[in-house]
């Protein structure tokens, strides 16, 4: 599976952890995760790894920040800032 994520526009200041909303992207190196806010329990935040489709659930934005070893390496991007293409290749 190929993931191609291109950043169309980066904000000057960048997006902080307090700005995270449903559908935002969290990037660290070549790992792209999408943020899915739980509609039944607003305190839960699901991170879906687009490479492995693993789901990690955290309770708060602070717990989300603490789940990464080095938060300074993380980029947070809104859906309007990126162009995402995911390609699947079937093999027998």
Is position 45 within any domain?
yes
Distance CA 75, CA 32 (A): 10
Is position 6 within any domain?
no
The residues, any chain, with a CB within 8 Å of residue 1's CB and separated by 6 or more, are 51, 86, 87, 88, 89
State the total domains in the chain: 1
Is position 59 within any domain?
yes
At residue 9, the pLDDT reads 64
Is position 52 within any domain?
yes
Q: Give this prediction's pTM.
A: 0.77
Is position 25 within any domain?
yes
Is position 90 within any domain?
no
For 60, the domain range is: 21-82
pLDDT tens string, the chain, 92 residues long: the values are: 666 677 776 665 667 788 888 889 888 887 889 999 888 877 789 999 888 889 999 988 888 888 888 888 888 888 888 887 777 777 77
Is position 56 within any domain?
yes
Is position 88 within any domain?
no
At residue 12, the pLDDT reads 56
């Amino acid at each position: 599976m190929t993931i191609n994520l291109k950043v169309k526009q980066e904000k000057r200041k960048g997006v902080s952890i307090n700005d995270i909303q449903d559908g935002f992207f969290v990037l660290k190196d070549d790992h792209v995760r999408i943020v899915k806010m739980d509609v039944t329990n607003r305190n839960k935040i699901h991170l879906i790894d687009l490479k492995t489709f693993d789901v990690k659930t955290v309770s708060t934005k602070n717990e989300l920040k603490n789940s990464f070893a080095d938060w300074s390496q993380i980029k947070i991007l809104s859906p309007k800032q990126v162009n995402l293409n995911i390609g699947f290749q079937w093999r027998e």
